[in-house]
């Protein structure tokens, strides 16, 4: 069996290649799967690359699992794939009954201790990867930024649609922001189509996604590619690889994130599966990738198929988990939400004359005029006689002091008595 090694070196450089697909070994039948109902978990919502590959493998892998089991597909989006990984680790049925296509970045999320991580990728059983990936950063057709260089010098914040902190779309936005690009990730988009729709609506300016899931949108929506990360593609000729243009510090982050792209569509089953059964499942997965029906479907959908050995996947993840504390510390520092810079604040004090919209607007009489402050349930600190309270506790007749940029703006503090 041929396979290659992908390792994260001390300098953050990646050396990677792919093993060639060889003839699948004979698959022994121990009777375990006869009549079983299996489940394939997809880490994202419907649509997009993960969903496509999850359903494709589910349809064809069962042909090579002895006993002719059935397999259903369940989408389990959330937190950039962390929810699905947690499920496979802690709640999924054991023994090789449930499978999942998980985020290629799950090892990064584990190493950087993202909020909510309750899995250990080393304990999940890798089955194989169905394709290598290239991530591409794209901008809206009508946005003035058309190149990475223009983005660097752009004077306004550029909003990038992302799923959650565990996703590549989020992490690559953080990579750019940390290297001085005016990029801000906007989370909560659970699928690729949602992110593209947000760009079309003008809610965001761009996003980062796998090239295969984006190339149709580039053609039909006019999205403009400005950079890529991962496997070089002829279609992106002239577009810079982030590892060639970022600062030395940024290149370390880029190399960290490029490592899992070699196994861009990774499939796993749960911990606690007998070794012989794991070997059988890996053989079935590999055989499925050579199935004429699967290859015909992939060709029609213009999706690439390239097998990555599960042991290589383990090596890639081990390299990521072994990344130096310095690299991880820089990554986490760059991922921190920047503190909002406050301009000059003014203070106005007077008697409350009205409350509106459930306390979202408070009006006081100040020097013979009525002035209004917006009140946020999260960002505005509201106190009553020195104790923190909710905004609905402010009543007409109280004396309150606003601390805000100007009348009509959102207050950072409202002190009442």
225: phi then psi, degrees, rounded to nearest 5: -70, 135
> pLDDT under 50 in the chain at which residues?
1-26
The CATH-assigned architecture of domain 7-131+260-332 is: 3-Layer(aba) Sandwich (3.40)
Collapsing DSSP to helix, strand or coil, 381 comes out as strand
The whole-angstrom separation of Cα 76 and Cα 70 is 19
Residue 417 pLDDT: 94
- CATH architecture under which domain 134-229 falls: 3-Layer(aba) Sandwich (3.40)
Nearest-angstrom CA–CA distance, 342 and 412: 9
Residue 20's pLDDT is what?
A: 37
The edge-to-edge listing of strands for the beta sheet with 70-75 is: 70-75, 37-42, 98-101, 266-269, 125-129
Q: What pLDDT shows up at residue 339?
A: 56
User: How many helices and strands in the chain, by DSSP H and E?
Assistant: 13, 19
Question: What is the chain's length?
Answer: 417
**What is the per-residue pLDDT across 344-371, written as a single tens digit (0 to 9) for each?**
899 999 999 999 998 999 999 999 999 9
CB 243 within 8 A of CB 229: yes
SS3 245: helix
CA 294 to chain centre: 27
Q: The tokens 């990579």 sit on which residue? A: 175
The per-residue DSSP string of 55-106 comes to HHHHHHHGGGSTT--EEEEEE---GGGHHHHHHHHHTSPTTTTEEEE--TTH
Residue 195 parent element (H or E): helix 192-201
pLDDT at 10 (0 to 100): 28
**Domain ranges across the chain:** 7-131+260-332, 134-229, 346-416
Tell me whether domains 134-229 and 346-416 share a fold: no
User: Does the domain spanning 346-416 belong to CATH 3.90.25.10?
Assistant: no
Residue 332: the pLDDT is 72
Provide the 8-state DSSP code for 225. Answer: E
User: What's the rounded Cα separation, in Å, for the pair 3 and 313?
Assistant: 10
- Note the pLDDT of residue 337: 56
């Amino acid at each position: 069996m041929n396979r290659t090694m992908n390792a994260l070196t001390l300098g953050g450089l990646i050396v990677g290649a792919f093993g060639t697909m060889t003839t699948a070994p004979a698959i022994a039948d121990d009777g375990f799967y006869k009549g079983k109902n299996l489940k394939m978990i997809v880490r994202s919502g419907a649509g997009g690359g993960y969903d496509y590959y999850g359903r494709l493998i589910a349809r064809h892998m069962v042909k090579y699992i002895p006993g002719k089991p059935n397999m259903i597909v369940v989408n389990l989006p959330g937190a950039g794939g962390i929810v699905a990984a947690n499920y496979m680790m802690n709640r999924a049925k054991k023994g090789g009954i449930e499978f999942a296509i998980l985020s290629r970045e799950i090892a990064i999320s584990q190493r950087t201790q993202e909020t909510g991580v309750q899995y250990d990728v080393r304990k999940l059983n890798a089955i194989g990867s169905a394709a290598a990936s290239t991530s591409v950063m794209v901008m809206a057709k009508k946005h003035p930024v058309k190149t990475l260089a223009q983005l660097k010098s752009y004077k306004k914040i550029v909003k990038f649609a992302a799923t959650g902190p565990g996703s590549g779309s989020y992490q690559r936005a953080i990579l750019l922001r940390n290297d001085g690009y005016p990029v801000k990730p906007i989370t909560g988009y659970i699928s690729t189509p949602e992110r593209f729709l947000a760009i079309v609506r003008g809610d965001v300016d761009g996003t980062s996604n796998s090239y295969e899931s984006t190339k149709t949108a580039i053609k039909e929506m006019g999205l403009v590619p400005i950079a890529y990360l991962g496997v070089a593609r002829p279609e992106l000729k002239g577009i810079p690889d982030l590892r060639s243009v970022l600062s030395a510090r940024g290149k370390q982050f880029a190399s960290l994130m490029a490592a899992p792209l070699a196994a861009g569509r990774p499939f796993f089953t749960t911990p606690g599966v007998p070794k012989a059964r794991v070997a059988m499942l890996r053989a079935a997965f590999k055989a499925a990738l050579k199935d004429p029906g699967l290859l015909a479907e992939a060709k029609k959908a213009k999706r690439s198929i390239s097998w990555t050995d599960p042991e290589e996947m383990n090596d890639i993840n081990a390299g990521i988990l072994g990344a130096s504390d310095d690299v991880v510390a820089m990554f986490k520092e760059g991922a921190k939400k920047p503190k909002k810079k406050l301009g000059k604040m003014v203070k106005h004090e007077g008697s409350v004359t009205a409350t509106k919209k459930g306390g979202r607007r408070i009006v006081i009489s100040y020097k013979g005029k009525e002035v209004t402050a917006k009140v946020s349930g999260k960002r505005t600190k509201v106190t009553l006689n020195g104790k923190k309270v909710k905004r609905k506790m402010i009543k007409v007749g109280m004396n309150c002091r606003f601390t805000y940029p100007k009348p009509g703006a959102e207050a950072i503090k409202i002190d009442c008595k």
